[in-house]
Structures are given as structure tokens and as C-alpha cells.
Amino acid sequence: MAEQPRLLKGLDPEQRTAVTAPRGPVCVLAGAGTGKTRTITHRIAHLVERGLVVPQQVLAVTFTARAAGEMRTRLRALGAPGVQAQTFHAAAFRQLRYFWPRVLEGQMWPLTDNKFRIVMQAANRLGLSTEKESVRDLAAEIEWSKASLIGPDQYPAAAARAGRSAPVAPEQIGRAFTTYEKLKNHAQVLDFDDLLLHTAAVLEEHAEVAEEFRARYRSFVVDEYQDVNPLQQRVLDAWLGGRDDLTVVGDANQTIYSFAGAAPTWLIGFSRRFPEATVVRLERDYRSTPQVVSLANAVIDAARSRPAGTRLRLTGQRADGPDPQFAEHDDESAEAEAVVRRIAALVQQGTALSEIAVLFRVNAQSEVYEKALSDADIPYQVRGGERFFARAEVRQAMTALRNAAARDDSASGDDLPTLVRAVLSEVGLTTEPPAGGSARERWESLNALVELAAELAETVQQPDFARYVTELEMRAEAQHPPTVEGVTLASLHAAKGLEWDAVFLVGLVEGTLPIQHADGDDAAIEEERRLLYVGVTRAREHLHLSWALSRASGGRRHRKRSRFVHGLVPDGHPAALPGTTTPRARESKPKQTVKPRCRICATPLASTMDIKLGRCSSCPSDADEDLLSQLRSWRSERARQLKVPAYVVFTD
Ligand code: ATP
Ligand code: MG
């Protein structure tokens, strides 16, 4: 038999179908961890290797800077450097900057460094509340309108149709939107959505620009297509200009941006739009252990409504691993300390720091983990939050880099990383990292800026200093910090598409996940459930879910375990070991009571003693390790058949 081409090795038959499909529309509809991102990178590399596309003519877009960075790294490793893998915004920024002087006057307007302030000014002018919360809500509504291609006049009707719960009268929001646009235009600055709006408009209205663009980019790939919004779809259509060389991959069960206007409609309707498309479904989960896959299936099976095309069932391909663990704590600090103790234990057992993530619903939850990790001297990085760019050393570094770019004293002939390192040595970057503690953390942040320069030097054609500073400004605006070695702290939104060996899902309480404002809104609750699904499916091996019954130590225990945990961890299970309490049955109103099951053979437990021991009388005690490990694989198979996730409730 002829040897398989290099790029088809390590792919299953369905993945291979998508990789080898001829240029033209291709859609991969599949669950988390089934290799969608792997499939598209192999497809691009395969087309390049076969000489069917030129790398520079491919534009691959995804939703986070880190995902784009990872795609570039994967493509380089597969022998396809030079492919543009960008976020929608970064791609639009680059195109608009290039075309702006030709179709509009002068240089492209800069991105506003404080959109919030402009919204506040607009609110102030109209006599609306300028409280932080109200302004934030107003900004979110303006953003939703722009992402949904809805103008200020259309806002009231559209908001009513979409069931938006507006903070003030819809007519007022429409007026605030108009005023915001006027103020922004007057200041000659752009917001992020303007990048996309202007890019689409330039391509739609200037035939010669569109022609030049379309001669340059011929093949398009979109990862995480379930989260495309109407504005991004319009840009994509403008890029395509009636052509159909488009590969999309996505998982409707991972739609987590519908509050901001995204919809899986385009993913699900792809084959209607392109009837000749190659459509592939993947169901083998290569990322996670069967235990994690089983829990993920249980989370998403509980969804109230699932559109057609989303009922894919994942089957785990990896060897058995540890059971997902659940823990309940008295307060948030106790939860964070317990999580950090487990992180330290994992590190001691050989898990790399970069293979561990703590994921939460809202960025404010990060603080208590930052403190606990700092106290334990464990390096970490915060992703999807403003903290990286708010750090004193990063702010100092940005000023030094901006000044160097303005002086333009970078012409010396050194490569970009060397230039950046030289400037950062002025603000204290040493060649070797300091031993530990806060000095090490500062070093890691500054070094991440050098790493970013190295990444840029490999991926853009003219990696000059000005380009680097612009990239940095964009990242600061979008709060996409570069990679720092350490435990990742990230919001669930920022974690999509990524994976770690060990994942800690924390703060699983009512009001946080699901978030308070989703209460009473079925669609919003379902989106919160999908967020949990995204979180669960990030774990390769170790998965740990936790919650705390009060915020502060000694505080009133008024927090309730998230309704989503119900059914995953059996009510009444004896978790009452030191430091935790038993999960309470009264917290949510179960439609169906889950009986405690034997954690070895998954049979429902009847006697109080069995429930206390967590196993039935026919199964061996924990001491019998050998037998236990044999039984473990049988049990997870059995659990799969019974459609109950394997579980263990532990405490430290
Ligand atoms: P998500 O929905 O979370 O974005 P995905 O479908 O994009 O997930 P990938 O990130 O591409 O999944 O793949 C998940 C993991 O499985 C990666 O570590 C990838 O290398 C691995 N993988 C994918 N396909 C295979 C395969 N055929 N054989 C072995 N490993 C695979
Ligand atoms: Mg992916």
C-alpha cells in the first residue's frame, strides 16, 4: 500500500475528507476536541504542499489573538509559514490601514483608547445616568447594535424583537448611539467595530480596491464559525465577493457570544447557502479522557433546546484518566486556597505550569486566585482581562517602546526582537530570569513582550518597530496579552478553542454561572450552560469543579451551588470531609433526582453505609489499587452506557 502523505497521517477518515476536499466550500460541524482546528490547519498546509494555494493568498480568521497565534504556530510546524492567521479585527485593521489613504483622506484614524469615556460623554449630554454600570450597559447595547448591523433609528424595534433588556428606554439608547458616533467622529477616532464596518464598506463601495484585495486573498478559512456575528459575516462576504473558496468549522453547542449578536445560523445553514459544499461531521473526541467527555455530554444533554445539527455525541478516544472532581467550600478564599494546593500537587507530580488553567465566569473572580497563587509563589498569567496591560512594568515598557518608535532610532539593522529587548533593558529586563517572586513575575511580563516581537518577526512581511507598537496598542485595546509562562487564569469566554492538561472551573454558584442577569431569560440561561460546556471541554485530563457558599470568610452562607452542577454531582453524596460541606439537595428544584451511585461500578446505592463509603458492598475498598484500576475502565464504560458521568467528590 502506498505510504500516506505526511499531512494526512494522524487524521481520521472524516478529518481526511475535509482536508483533501478540493478548493471550494467546506464545512466541518463537530463537537469540542474533535480536531476541527487541527483539520483546518492540515487542510491549509495540504493545499499549500500540493501547490493548490499560495500561503500568502490564504486568510484564516478566528476569534482570539491567542487562537490565531496558535494556528500560526501549528501552520509553521506543518511547513506552511506565511499564511495570515488573524482575528477578524486584526485582519480588518491591517486592510483598512492599507486602503484608507486611497479612499479616505489622510492616514487611518487611531483606535480610541477610551471608548467608555465617549459613551459616558454621550450619556451626559443626553442627561442619562453616568453611573459606571449604566454606561457599561449602554456601551454593550451600542456594541450589540453595531455587531448586528442595526442603526440608531432601528434600535428600539430591533431591541424589542431580540428581547434585549435595555437599561433605559430604547429610544434613549438610540439617541445615545447617535451622539456616541458624532463624538467619536468629531474626535477622529475609531472603535473596534468601526474597523469591520469601514473594511466592509470600502470593499463594497470601491470596486478597484475590492479587485486588488480579491487578487491578493483567494482562500478563506474561519474557525469557531458558530460565533460569527452579522457584522463579521458582512466582512467575510465582502472578502469573498461572490466566490466560494471558504472553509468553516464550528460547534453550535459552543455558541457563547449570542448576547453580543453572534448566531450559529450561518454555520448550520452553510450547506443551504452552498449546496455543493463538502460537509463533514466529527464525533471522536481526541482531547479529553472518557471521564471528561462523559461529563461534557451530561452538561450539554441537559440543554433545554438544541437546534438541528447540534446533537452530536462525543466519544472519547483517549485512555482513562482521573474522575472529574467536585468540591464545595465555605468561602471564596478557602476555595482558592484549595485550588492552589491542588495546583501545587499537580506541579509536584510533573504537570507543567502552562498546562494548568483556572477558568471563571467573570474577570472579577480572578483576583482571589491571583492572590492565592502569588502567596504560593506560583507564576500565573491573566488572559482576557486588563491586568496584563495594567501592570506597572508593562505600562512603563509601553511608554518606552512608544518613545522609541517616535524617535525612530530603530533603523540599526538589528532584528525586531533584539530591538525590543534593547528598549526593554532600559526598564529593567535582564537577560536571565530572576529566581522567583514578584521580580520573576515582572521579568515574565517583559519577556512576553519580546516573545511577541519574535512571533511578529516570523509572521509579518515587514516586522518593523512601528508595526510592533501598533500590534501592542491593539492588543492593549482588545485586552489580548501575549503569552506568559505560568498557570493561566482566564474567563470562560477567553478560553474557547484552547486546551490544558488540568482545568479548574471555579465559582460555580447561582448568580455567577449562570450570571445574575440571565435569570428568568431561558435563552440567556442556555448560553450560560454552553459556557460551562466550553469550560468542561477545555480539560485534557484533570477536571475540577468547585464553588463556595459565601463570599468572605465567616460571611453568611447565602450562595447556592450552580443549577448546572445539579445532576452532575449526586445530591446527598457524602462530601462532608474537613473544609467542605455536603452539596445540598434543596438548592435547586430537580426535575429528576439523581441517586448516589457506586463510584466503582456506578450502581445506585441504597444503604446509608454504602452512601457514606461511596461504593456498594460488592466493590473492593480503595486500598485494593490493582483491582480498582481494572474496574475503573470498566466503570467508565458502564457509566457511558448508563449515561451518567463518573464522579468523585473530594476535599483537601
Ligand atoms: P474546540 O471545539 O475546543 O475548538 P477542536 O475541535 O478545534 O476543539 P482541536 O483543538 O483541533 O479540536 O483538537 C483537540 C485535540 O485533539 C488537539 O490536541 C489535537 O491535536 C488532537 N487531535 C485532533 N485530531 C486528532 C487525531 N486524529 N489524532 C490524534 N489527536 C488528534
Ligand atoms: Mg478549535
pLDDT tens for residues 601-631? 556 666 666 665 666 666 655 434 444 444 4
Residue 535 has pLDDT above 80, yes or no: yes
Give ligand 1 pocket residues (Cβ under 6 A): 10-12, 15, 30, 32-38, 251, 254, 286-287, 497, 499, 537
Q: What is the pLDDT of residue 641?
A: 40
pLDDT, tens digit (0-9, with 9 covering 90-100), for 305-325:
666 556 667 888 899 999 999
Q: Which ligand is nearest to the CA of 496?
A: 1
d(CA 328, CA 575): 8
Q: What is the per-residue burial (b if ≥16 Cβ within 10 Å, else e) of 530-558?
A: bbbbbbbbbbbbbbbbbbbbbeeeeeeee
**Which of the residue ranges 492-496, 516-520, 547-551 would you say has the lowest mean pLDDT?**
516-520
Ligand whose nearest atom lies closest to the CA of 62: 2
Alpha carbons 70 and 85: distance in angstroms, whole number: 9
Identify whether the C-beta of residue 501 lies closer than 8 Å to the C-beta of residue 356. Answer: yes
**pLDDT number for residue 267:** 93
DSSP secondary structure code for residue 111 in this structure: B
Q: What angle do CA 195, 199, 205 make, to 5 degrees?
A: 145
- Percent of the chain predicted with pLDDT > 70: 81
648 pLDDT higher than 70: no
32 annotated among ligand-binding-site residues: yes
Quick check: helix, strand or coil at residue 615? Answer: coil
Asked if residue 585 belongs to a known ligand binding site, the reply is no
Work out the burial of residue 440: count CB atoms within 10 Å of its CB; fewer than 13 is exposed, 13-18 middle, 19 or more buried.
Answer: middle
As a whole number, the mean pLDDT across the chain is 83
pLDDT band at 430 (very low <50, low <70, confident <90, very high): confident
Cα–Cα distance measured from residue 532 to residue 324, given in angstroms and rounded to the nearest whole number: 14
What is the reported pLDDT for 474?
Answer: 73
Atom of ligand 1 nearest to the CA of 38: 11
Residue 581 has pLDDT above 50, yes or no: no
Mutate to test the pocket of ligand 1, among 38, 223, 256, 300 (most ligand atoms within 8 A of CB): 38
Which of the four pLDDT bands, split at 50, 70 and 90, describes residue 65?
confident
User: What letter represents residue 453's amino acid?
Assistant: A
Burial class (CB in 10 A: 0-12, 13-18, 19+), 243: middle
Residue-by-residue DSSP string for 280-324: EEE-EE-SS-HHHHHHHHHHHHT-S---TT-----EE-SPP-PPP
- Report percent pLDDT > 90 for the chain: 50
Q: What residue owns the CA closest to ligand 1's atom 2?
A: 32
Residue 589 burial (CB count, 10 A): 8
Which residue's CA is minimally distant from atom 23 of ligand 1? 35
Q: How far apart are CA 193 and CA 148, in angstroms?
A: 10
- List pLDDT tens digits, range 198-239: 999 999 999 999 999 999 999 999 999 999 999 999 999 999
Q: Which of 433-447, 475-489, 501-515, 630-644 has the lowest mean pLDDT?
A: 630-644
Respond yes or no on whether the N-terminal peptide bond of residue 514 is cis (omega within 30° of 0).
yes
**pLDDT score of 628:** 43
- What's the pLDDT at 435? 67
Q: Reply yes or no on whether the pLDDT at 392 is more than 90.
A: no
Instruction: Tell me the β-bridge partners of 313.
Output: none
Task: Mention every residue, 6+ apart, whose C-beta is less than 8 A from residue 70.
Answer: 37, 497, 498
> What are the pLDDT digits (tens) for 96-149?
988 999 898 788 898 887 888 999 999 999 999 998 888 988 999 999 999 999
pLDDT exceeds cutoff 70 at 565:
yes
Q: Where are the beta strands (DSSP E) in 304-430?
A: 315-316, 325-331, 356-360, 380-383
Report the atom number in ligand 1 closest to the C-alpha of 537: 3
Helices 88-103 and 192-205 sit at what angle, rounded to 10 degrees? 50
Which of 286, 530, 532 should be mutated for ligand 1, with most atoms under 8 A from CB?
Answer: 286
Q: For residue 618, how far is its CA from the centre of ligand 2 (angstroms)?
A: 43
- For ligand 2, a single-atom ion, the residues with CB < 5 A are 36-37, 497
CA of 242 to the centre of ligand 2 (A): 27
Ligand 2 center to 223 CA (angstroms)? 7
Instruction: Name the DSSP letter for residue 64.
Output: S
Distance CA 333, CA 321 (A): 28
Q: So what's the pLDDT on residue 624? A: 42
Give 403's pLDDT tier (boundaries 50, 70, 90). Answer: confident
CA distances from 82 to 220, 300, 470 (A): 14, 38, 20
Nearest ligand, measured from the Cα of 11: 1
Give the residue-averaged pLDDT of 443-463.
79
Paired residues of 61 in beta bridges: 86, 222
- 357 is an annotated ligand-binding site residue: no
- The grid coordinates of residue 591 equal 426535575
What pLDDT digit, counting tens, does each position of 144-197 carry? 999 999 999 999 999 988 888 776 899 999 999 999 999 999 999 999 899 999
- Does the pLDDT of residue 520 top 50, yes or no? yes
Residue 260 has pLDDT above 70, yes or no: yes
Residue 613: what pLDDT? 60
Q: What is the pLDDT of residue 29?
A: 93
Distance 538 CA to ligand 1 centre (A): 11
Q: Has residue 590 got a pLDDT over 60?
A: no
**Residue 381 gets which letter from DSSP?**
E
Point out the ligand 1 atom lying closest to the alpha carbon of residue 12. Answer: 27
**Nearest Cα residue to 570 out of 596, 598, 544:** 596
Cα distances (angstroms) measured from residue 549 to each of 242, 560, 564? 55, 6, 15
Reported as a pLDDT band with limits 50, 70 and 90, residue 533 is: very high
Q: How far is the CA of 250 from the centre of ligand 2 (A)?
A: 8
294, burial (CB in 10 Å: exposed 0-12, middle 13-18, buried 19+): buried
Determine the Cα–Cα distance for residues 209 and 229; give it in Å rounded to an integer: 24
Give distance in angstroms: CA of 287 to centre of ligand 2: 11
| Ligand 1 atom 18 nearest Cα | 287
Q: Does 35 appear as a known binding residue?
A: yes
- Residue 311 CA to residue 598 CA, distance in Å, equals 29
Output the CA–CA distances (angstroms, integers) from residue 136 to 140, 153, 167, 187, 644, in the order listed: 6, 21, 10, 21, 41
Query: Closest residue (by CA) to atom 9 of ligand 1?
Result: 35
In angstroms, what is the span from residue 40 Cα to ligand 2's centroid?
Answer: 9
Ligand 1 site-directed mutation target among 19, 37, 247, most atoms within 8 Å of CB: 37
How does residue 69 score in pLDDT terms, banded at 50, 70 and 90? confident
Atom of ligand 1 nearest to the CA of 285: 16
Nearest residue (CA) to ligand 1, atom 20 = 38
For the stretch 356-372, pLDDT in tens is: 999 999 878 888 998 89
Cβ atoms of residues 300 and 533 within 8 Å: yes
In angstroms, the Cα distances linking 590 to 66, 196, 298, 566, 647 are 39, 45, 15, 7, 18
Q: Which atom in ligand 1 lies closest to the alpha carbon of residue 534?
A: 3
> What pLDDT, on the 0 to 100 scale, is given for residue 582?
36
pLDDT for residue 558: 84
